[in-house]
Amino acid sequence: TNSLTMAWRLFKNLSEEQQRYEKQLIFEHPAFTKLCQQLLRDARRMTRGDLVFSLHALVNLGVPQNTLLVQTLVRVCQEKLNQLDNRCISVLATTLAGMDKDKNVSALQAGLQLLVEQRISSIRDIFILQNLMKCLGKDAPVFLKKKLEMAVVREIDGLTFPNSLRMFLALAAMNYCSLPILNPCSKKIQENVQDVTFRQLILILEACHTLLYRNVKLFSALADYVNSTAYLWDKRQIILFLSACETLGFQPTELLDIFAEKVTEDPDFLNLKNLLIVLRVYSRLNHVPRVQKDLFFETLHSCLNKCLPQISNTELLKAVYALGILGYLPHRALDELLQKDSKDELTLSDDLKEQSTMMLRCVKTCMELDSPSFTKPAFLLTENLSPLVSLNLRKAQEALIELLGDENMFRQTVLLPYRYHIDFEIRMDSDRKKVLPIAATDDHPDSHVQRLAFLFAPMSAFCLGTTHPQGKLAMKKRHLNKLGYHVILIQNKKFQEMKNEDAVEFLKRKIYSEDAFSFPEATVQDND
């Protein structure tokens, strides 16, 4: 057992190429064959520790699972399962997690799960608990996940910083979001953020994504740390970090600005893969640098042009779409995309067809509405989609009726050109003092009539913890501005949580405030 364990400890620290070479040497060595034969003979006489550590070493050294030796050790572990102490249970769980399912392995896993359930109240070692959580994984029954959670919570006060990091990964492996564990762990990580390695940064964010755990304070602490040490990181590492933030819908504003400067100073590192990630991140998070935004766009445009000879149709569409969301039209790439479309060369796989059709439609809309030559139409053809509003807009409808006194003072579920729709439309006089009946303004179109568009959007349409709209919603707001609307964005979840009288007062402030009628010069590009 000691020989095998030492071989495994030396083996695991080698590079992948060295491991392949050493593995061949080990397996061909005559002493290894003798060792395995002795192990097979003595399996039933071994102590519990020697038994599980030998199996662990053999599996990790790559001895095939279907060999008589491995299968014999698995069966002996089954026979001696009740004799195993907590440490042996932890090692065995780790070993089984790395093995393929077969009859003997499945039987041993089932027995181990029952044993963990019986022993869990006696396990005080946080490391063993974490190991069991990782190894039992997402397939563990909910009641067992709950028992493991309670066991960890019992020891939570003794949780160290390294244990806090491992706990995130253990919970992600179980796919079990436990706030009583995650919140203290997050706090411990924030307190020791300077000790987090780059790989750990990414693993934490990936675990949060798996667990649907959204902690703005944690994300901000990690982003501030990367921001303050940005000069130490490779640009590709920052791209990976920003990509992980984008997946969570979190906008690390300062870091995005700093990285944009790095891109404009030295764009040569932006190969096609990195360029597409950067475009996706900045467009989804609707982030335009506060300084040198034109230079940033021109740099990305130039990099895209260099990649055009080897770019695929799907990648070309994604790149143009991302820049379109940000209000920038890359003319050369756009021309190539439209030529392919007109010749029916824009062949895309079936699973991407629906999404690609939507993206292409958006690109064509951006071409029209974001063109410098576009002027606000004097008359806008609209129609009401339905006299009924969806359940999640019922509260807003009732608040508007109470505020304005009549359903004829607003329109609901309005369809506009370019397939845009708005939840509610209100029209006001030029002084913004009075709401006008819809019918009266329909009969006598007046250029001085002010149009308000209310969009009740889900929280997922905004960057995490802010009212900053993400790319698609920001693009819609920009385009509605171009069509002559003053757009009021409302986070529907927060609106639903308001008392009725507060909801009415809230809409009143939105309708009659000066802010509702200000047209920012570049709506999508404002980061406030």
Under the banding of pLDDT at 50, 70 and 90, the label for residue 259 is very high
Query: Phi, psi at residue 351, to the nearest 5°?
Result: -70, -20
- Structure confidence at residue 528 (pLDDT): 32
**DSSP class per residue in 260-293:** HHHHHH-GGG--HHHHHHHHHHHHHTT---SSSH
Tell how far CA 399 is from the center of its chain.
35
Q: What is the pLDDT of residues 198-226, one digit of tens each?
A: 999 999 999 999 999 999 999 999 999 99
Res 517 pLDDT > 70:
no
Res 309 pLDDT > 70:
yes
- Structure confidence at residue 519 (pLDDT): 42
Query: Sign of torsion, CA 347 350 353 356?
Result: negative
Torsion angle of alpha carbons 460, 461, 462, 463, nearest 10°? 60
- Residues 493, 429 contacting (CB under 8 angstroms): no
Query: Phi, psi at residue 287, to the nearest 5°?
Result: -115, 120
- Structure confidence at residue 475 (pLDDT): 96
Domain total in the chain? 2
Q: What is the pLDDT of residues 380-390, one digit of tens each?
A: 777 776 667 78
Q: Is residue 456 part of a domain?
A: yes
Res 194 pLDDT > 90:
yes
Average pLDDT across the chain, whole number: 90
- Structure confidence at residue 264 (pLDDT): 94
Half-sphere exposure of 170 (CA within 13 A, CB side): 25
What does DSSP say about strands 450-457 and 435-436: parallel, antiparallel, or unpaired?
unpaired
418: left (phi over 0), alpha (psi -120 to 50) or beta: left
- Residues 57, 4 contacting (CB under 8 angstroms): yes
Res 299 pLDDT > 60:
yes
Say whether 251 sits in a helix, a strand or coil.
Answer: coil
Q: How many CB atoms lie within 10 A of CB 418?
A: 16
Angle at CA of residue 169, ends 168 and 173, nearest 5°: 120
Tell how far CA 402 is from the center of its chain.
40
Strand partners, 469: 462
Q: Is residue 228 part of a domain?
A: no
Res 274 pLDDT > 90:
yes
Q: What is the pLDDT of residues 47-62, one digit of tens each?
A: 999 999 999 999 999 9
- Structure confidence at residue 393 (pLDDT): 92
- Structure confidence at residue 121 (pLDDT): 87
**DSSP class per residue in 401-466:** HHHHSSGGG-EEEEE-GGG-EEEEEEEE-TTS--EEPHHHHHHS--TT-EEEEEEEE-GGGB-TTS
- Structure confidence at residue 445 (pLDDT): 60
Res 434 pLDDT > 80:
yes
What residue type is assigned to position 14 of the chain? L
Residues present in the chain in total: 528
**DSSP class per residue in 425-440:** EEEE-TTS--EEPHHH
Angle at CA of residue 349, ends 344 and 354, nearest 5°: 85
> Structure tokens of 436?
């006008």
Task: State which of 82, 103, 122 marks the end of a domain.
Answer: 122
- Residues 321, 279 contacting (CB under 8 angstroms): no
Res 345 pLDDT > 80:
no
Q: What is the pLDDT of residues 437-463, one digit of tens each?
A: 888 776 556 667 889 999 999 999 999
Mean per-residue pLDDT, 254-264: 95
- Structure confidence at residue 520 (pLDDT): 41
Q: Is residue 58 part of a domain?
A: yes
Q: Which residue has the tokens 């991140």?
A: 281
Res 522 pLDDT > 50:
no
Res 521 pLDDT > 60:
no
> Structure tokens of 9?
């400890």
**DSSP class per residue in 98-163:** TS---HHHHHHHHHHHHHHHHHGGG---HHHHHHHHHHH-TTS-HHHHHHHHHHHHHTGGG--HHH
Q: Which structural domain range is residue 48 located in?
A: 1-122
- Residues 449, 426 contacting (CB under 8 angstroms): no
Task: State which of 82, 100, 122 marks the end of a domain.
Answer: 122
Q: Is residue 270 part of a domain?
A: no
Res 346 pLDDT > 80:
no
Under the banding of pLDDT at 50, 70 and 90, the label for residue 523 is very low
Q: Is residue 153 part of a domain?
A: no
Res 374 pLDDT > 60:
yes
Strand partners, 490: 456
pLDDT exceeding 70 applies to what percent of the chain? Answer: 94
Whole-angstrom distance, CA of residue 203 vs CA of residue 350: 32
Q: Is residue 183 part of a domain?
A: no
> Structure tokens of 306?
């260099």
- Residues 272, 238 contacting (CB under 8 angstroms): no
> Structure tokens of 259?
């990285």
Q: Is residue 388 part of a domain?
A: yes
Q: How many CB atoms lie within 10 A of CB 284?
A: 18
Task: State which of 122, 154, 172 marks the end of a domain.
Answer: 122
Res 67 pLDDT > 80:
yes
> Structure tokens of 274?
């990195």
Of 108-122, 311-325, 366-380, which range is least confident?
Answer: 366-380
User: Which of 197, 201, 213 lies closest to 248 in space, CA to CA?
Assistant: 213
- Structure confidence at residue 96 (pLDDT): 92
Whole-angstrom distance, CA of residue 284 vs CA of residue 294: 18
Res 513 pLDDT > 90:
no
- Residues 461, 473 contacting (CB under 8 angstroms): yes
265-277 CB burial, b ≥16 within 10 A, e <16: eebeebebebbbb
Q: What is the pLDDT of residues 108-155, one digit of tens each?
A: 999 999 999 998 988 888 999 998 998 888 888 999 999 999 999 998
- Structure confidence at residue 431 (pLDDT): 79
User: Which of 465, 493, 466, 490 lies closest to 477 in space, CA to CA?
Assistant: 490
Torsion angle of alpha carbons 254, 260, 266, 269, nearest 10°? 100
Mean per-residue pLDDT, 20-46: 92
Q: Is residue 399 part of a domain?
A: yes
- Structure confidence at residue 206 (pLDDT): 96
